[in-house]
């Protein structure tokens, strides 16, 4: 009975309600502005709300979190500049839709599925948190390695430009991510004695550069090209359309919840894997993937918001952060005198109800606020390029500097921006490089851990891959991903289908 009443706390408290709404509104903007990220906003808010009551602080942060994840998708779709790593996959089909004049429809769809995905994530958090966290713990380093491997395999088939170039860009990204200190032994790799190289190449400045600045520079070549006229009639998706895509949205949301629940991985990886899964399972997309398929927007947007609910699962049940933002929230709890950990739900039972409630309110608020602002956001495209591009570049500089107060980050960002410009010129997509930078460290440190666990014995490593259920499933997925691309497989499947047809005839 106690916990039931805790759900009502935010609803009955006007101050908290307003804070959630404010947070959601602010989050959408912060997420949308290229360069500013939800993680950065969350850490700023923690210091800002230090003297507040913890419930008020939580209300604000939950709002910013929910709003920000969707907000990142707005500029991803409109300008091909993701506002957050979780929105990278959204732009693959989102931006082509804008080029076709369907940006409002894309944004409306993204907003609706974001609501459903978020809702599912919160419901699972509410009902199944302990079970999921127990399973999430069983995920071993070798499984993280396999997940990263799946992500790498996806790199080859994404974005614009041909496959080989995608592989080269991705491989370069992975190689660049190796610069810095070896995670297992502490040896320096490619640092040339320079302390700035010692800390490695952070993927956030690289992402801001390779998307924001690159896009700006590329568009600057044709400043006078008129903006594409957007069809603002169809924003709110029809019920028929929603029902058609609901299964895909729910499937993607489930992927998002699980990946969010894995400690250390969050919305960015979830969106990527969901995009790939959609690509493989949707037989007749509304347009080819990468050229404006609605499914290509629905999958990542459902997954990345469901990952929010997922990330709270290990945080609330075990005190282990599910991603960067929940890690920051744990810090806030500790500062406020709470004790996150396995006994958290027992010692502060109301917090769970309050968080779930705040997330639900934020989810609903996001749906309403975002839907109403789509028309306004779409007008951004009409802003003359000559004004928009400098603004984007300035915001990129500010946003990069704001991460760590480091000018070195800004230099990296600009450097990557210029690199990305030349890459685009020669037909290389920049997304694979960014994803290589994100996945490289996960691949590297988890492979090392897995090998260390079996005392560097490769036979045992391979044996572990097939004797553990989670690893076995992932290995089968990867094997399928590889084999299904080969000509032999396609010939085999064609024969199977032909046989089925002749049998039915």
Which residues lie near another protein (CB under 8 A)?
43, 47, 50, 137-141, 180-181, 183-186, 195, 198-200, 263-264, 318-321, 324, 327-328, 330-331, 334-335, 337, 339-344, 346, 404-405, 445, 448-449, 452-453, 455
The residue (of 337 and 487) whose beta carbon lies closer to another protein is 337
Q: Per the structure block, which two tokens stand in for 321? A: 């952060």
Question: Is 50 or 422 the residue whose CB approaches another protein more closely?
Answer: 50
Question: Based on CB atoms, which residue is closest to another protein, 334 or 425?
Answer: 334
Angle of helix 103-138 relative to helix 239-261, nearest 10 degrees, comes to 30
Which residues are bridge partners to 189 per DSSP? 180
Q: Compute how many other C-beta atoms are within 10 angstroms of the C-beta atom of residue 74.
A: 31
The phi and psi torsions of 88 (rounded to 5 degrees) equal: -60, -45
Look at residue 183 and give its three-state secondary structure: coil
Q: Are 409 and 209 in contact (CB under 8 A)?
A: no
Q: Shortest distance, CB of residue 498 to another protein, whole angstroms?
A: 47
CA dist 116 and 104 (Å) reads: 18
Residue 329: CB minimum distance to another protein, A: 9
- For 400-412, give the DSSP string: HHHHHT-HHHHHH
Cα–Cα distance for residue pair 221/186, rounded to 1 Å: 44
Cβ nearer to another protein, comparing 80 with 202: 202
Q: With contact defined as beta carbons under 8 Å apart, do 230 and 430 qualify?
A: no
* CB closer to another protein, 324 vs 465: 324
Compute the least distance from the CB of residue 51 to another protein, in Å.
8
Looking at the Cβ atoms of 299 and 332, the one nearer to another protein is 332
Kindly state the smallest distance separating residue 407's Cβ from another protein, in Å.
12
Taking the complex as a whole, how short is the minimal distance between the CB of residue 209 and another protein, in angstroms?
20
- Nearest distance from C-beta of residue 157 to another protein, angstroms: 30
Question: Tokens at residue 271, please?
Answer: 């969106």
Identify which of residues 43 and 75 has a Cβ nearer to another protein in the complex: 43
Q: Nearest Cα to 214, choosing from 64, 316, 334, 80?
A: 80
264: left (phi over 0), alpha (psi -120 to 50) or beta: left
Q: Read off the tokens for 117.
A: 């995905």
CB of 50 to another protein, least distance (A): 6
Report the distance separating Cα 434 and Cα 440, nearest Å.
Answer: 10
Tokens of 412: 């990296």
For the bound state, the minimum distance from the C-beta of residue 403 to another protein, rounded and expressed in Å, comes to: 9
**Per-residue tokens: 349:** 């039972």
Query: Between residues 5 and 138, which has the closer beta carbon with respect to another protein?
Result: 138
């Amino acid at each position: 009975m106690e916990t039931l009443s805790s759900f009502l706390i935010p609803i009955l408290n006007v101050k908290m309600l307003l804070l959630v709404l404010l947070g959601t509104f602010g989050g959408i903007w912060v997420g949308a502005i290229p360069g500013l990220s939800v993680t950065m906003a969350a850490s700023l808010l923690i210091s800002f709300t230090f003297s507040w009551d913890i419930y008020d602080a939580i209300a604000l942060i939950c709002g910013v979190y929910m709003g920000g994840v969707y907000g990142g998708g707005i500029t991803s779709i409109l300008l091909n500049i993701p506002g957050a790593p979780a929105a990278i996959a959204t732009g693959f089909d989102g931006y082509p839709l804008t080029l076709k004049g369907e940006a409002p429809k894309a944004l409306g769809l993204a907003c609706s599925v974001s609501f459903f995905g978020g809702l599912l994530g919160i419901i699972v958090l509410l009902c199944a948190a302990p079970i999921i966290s127990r399973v999430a713990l069983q995920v071993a380093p070798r499984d993280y390695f396999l997940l990263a491997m799946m992500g790498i395999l996806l790199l080859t088939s994404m974005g614009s430009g041909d496959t080989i170039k995608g592989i080269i860009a991705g491989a370069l990204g992975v190689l660049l991510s190796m610069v810095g200190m070896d995670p297992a032994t502490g040896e320096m790799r490619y640092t040339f004695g320079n302390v700035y190289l010692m800390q490695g190449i952070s993927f956030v400045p690289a992402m801001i550069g390779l998307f924001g600045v690159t896009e700006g520079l590329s568009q600057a070549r044709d400043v006078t090209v008129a903006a594409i006229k957007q069809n603002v009639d169809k924003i709110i998706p029809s019920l028929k359309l929603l029902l058609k895509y609901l299964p895909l949205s729910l499937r993607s949301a489930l992927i998002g919840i699980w990946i969010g629940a894995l400690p250390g991985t969050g919305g960015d990886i979830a969106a990527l894997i969901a995009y790939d899964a959609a690509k493989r399972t949707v037989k007749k997309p509304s347009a080819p993937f990468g050229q404006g398929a609605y499914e290509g927007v629905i999958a990542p947007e459902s997954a990345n918001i469901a990952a929010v609910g997922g990330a709270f699962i290990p945080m609330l049940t075990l005190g282990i952060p599910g991603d960067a933002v929940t890690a920051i929230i744990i810090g806030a709890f500790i500062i406020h005198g709470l004790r996150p950990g396995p006994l958290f739900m027992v010692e502060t039972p109301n917090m769970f109800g309050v968080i779930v409630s705040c997330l639900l309110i934020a989810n609903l608020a996001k749906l309403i606020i975002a839907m109403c602002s789509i028309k306004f956001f779409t007008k951004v495209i009409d802003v003359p390029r000559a004004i928009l591009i400098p603004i984007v570049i300035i915001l990129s500089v500010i946003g990069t500097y704001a991460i760590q107060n480091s000018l070195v980050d800004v230099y990296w960002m600009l450097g990557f921006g210029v690199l990305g410009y030349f890459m685009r010129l020669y037909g290389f997509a920049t997304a694979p490089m960014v994803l290589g930078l994100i996945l490289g460290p996960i691949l590297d440190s988890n492979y090392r851990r897995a090998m260390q666990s079996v005392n560097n014995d490769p036979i045992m490593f391979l044996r572990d891959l097939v004797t553990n259920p989670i690893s076995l499933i992932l290995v089968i997925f990867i094997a399928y991903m590889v084999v299904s691309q080969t000509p032999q497989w396609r010939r085999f499947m064609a024969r199977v289908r032909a046989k089925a047809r002749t049998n039915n005839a």
